[in-house]
Amino acid sequence: MVGSAYLAAEGLEQPLLEELTRAGVAVSAWHGRLALSPDPPYASAWALDIWTAPREHAITSVKTAADLLRAQQRNWSAYAGLHHRRMALIADHLPLVRARALRFPEPAPTSHLGAWTLLDRDRLLASPTKSSPFALGECRFEEDHIGPPSRAYLKLWEALTRLGEYPGPGDRCLDLGAAPGGWTWVLASLGASVRAVDKAPLDPRIAAMPEVEQVIDSAFAMPPEPVDWLVCDVIAYPARLLALVERWIAAGAVRRIICTIKFQGNTDHAAADGFAALPNGRLMHLFHNKHELTLLWHKQ
């Protein structure tokens, strides 16, 4: 019996498995990147998508599988771990659900979406509910190949889309670890004013944006100051970053925090636990994250 299932990002099955094991969530089998558990759903940070109500069904044909899914709800997304051809035949019998790339700052889809797979030729696993509003947890955008100086901007686009809130004109933002300036470009393009702090210089095009003030300094040297948004993409040990975030929260100076936590080699789960324990915080692995997690935090 499957009580919950967790879709790992490509190549990040290990941190997901370690996280679940630490939390006492058993993994009975892997189906491709999907970890199957007999336990109730756990709010995993590393899973791209959590199947929160999976049920197994014996199926005798493509048609019985499609009928069974359609009888439950309209919108389904498929995870094809095995039996790709048979799954494609079933999908052909289901209403088309377009996984269209978003045009930022377009909001995330709100329509109800489930997930299914074939565990075997005649064994369907279907979850009418899941944690991500995106098929396979993949938040895709129409990319901008001209404005931003690096692809890191996609992480902030995704974080803001998941938060469902955006900085705008009149908002003060502090961007720590800003160079070459992808995140600063996102914030300034939304009309917010940005202090961009890095030991390295910004791309000159970004530094010249009227909303941007460049500060060449260490992120850790910045005393907390009143800001609407603190965003941080600094490369640093997770424990050091946690101390920085805790200092800013304790000072009561900031309304919203978006912070990437980067791991090198082994995943520092103890530090991740520290971020996860922050009241009003949400720790998640974004589709555009590598061996990273993202903290979304808001003041009460």
> Would you name the residues annotated as active-site residues?
262
Among all chains, which residue has been given the structure tokens 């670890």?
177
Cβ proximity to ligand SAM, 193 vs 294, nearer residue: 294
What is the closest distance, in whole angstroms, from the C-beta atom of residue 243 to ligand SAM in the complex?
13
Cβ proximity to ligand SAM, 125 vs 258, nearer residue: 258
Residues near ligand SAM, by CB under 6 A: 150, 152-153, 177-183, 197-200, 218-220, 233-236
| Distances, alpha carbon 181 to alpha carbons 15, 30, 80, 213, in Å | 29, 39, 37, 11
Quick check: 241 and 268 in contact, CB under 8 A?
Answer: no
What is the closest distance, in whole angstroms, from the C-beta atom of residue 200 to ligand SAM in the complex?
4
Cβ proximity to ligand SAM, 30 vs 220, nearer residue: 220
Cβ proximity to ligand SAM, 116 vs 263, nearer residue: 263
Provide the strand spans (E) within 9-162.
29-31, 34-37, 47-51, 55-58, 76-78, 114-120, 123-127
Q: In 10 A of CB 107, how many CB atoms?
A: 11
What is the closest distance, in whole angstroms, from the C-beta atom of residue 143 to ligand SAM in the complex?
14
What is the closest distance, in whole angstroms, from the C-beta atom of residue 173 to ligand SAM in the complex?
12
Cβ proximity to ligand SAM, 2 vs 194, nearer residue: 194
Cβ proximity to ligand SAM, 123 vs 247, nearer residue: 247
For ligand SAM, which residue has the nearest CB?
182
Q: In 10 A of CB 46, how many CB atoms?
A: 25
What is the closest distance, in whole angstroms, from the C-beta atom of residue 153 to ligand SAM in the complex?
6
What is the closest distance, in whole angstroms, from the C-beta atom of residue 209 to ligand SAM in the complex?
13
Among all chains, which residue has been given the structure tokens 């679940």?
20
Distance CA 12, CA 137 (A): 14
Residue 180: cis peptide before it, omega within 30 degrees of 0:
yes
Distance CA 183, CA 177 (A): 9
Which amino acid is residue 228, in one-letter code?
Answer: D
Check residue 280 and give left, alpha or beta (phi > 0: left; psi -120 to 50: alpha). Answer: left
Residue 66's SS3 state is helix
Quick check: 118 and 124 in contact, CB under 8 A?
Answer: yes
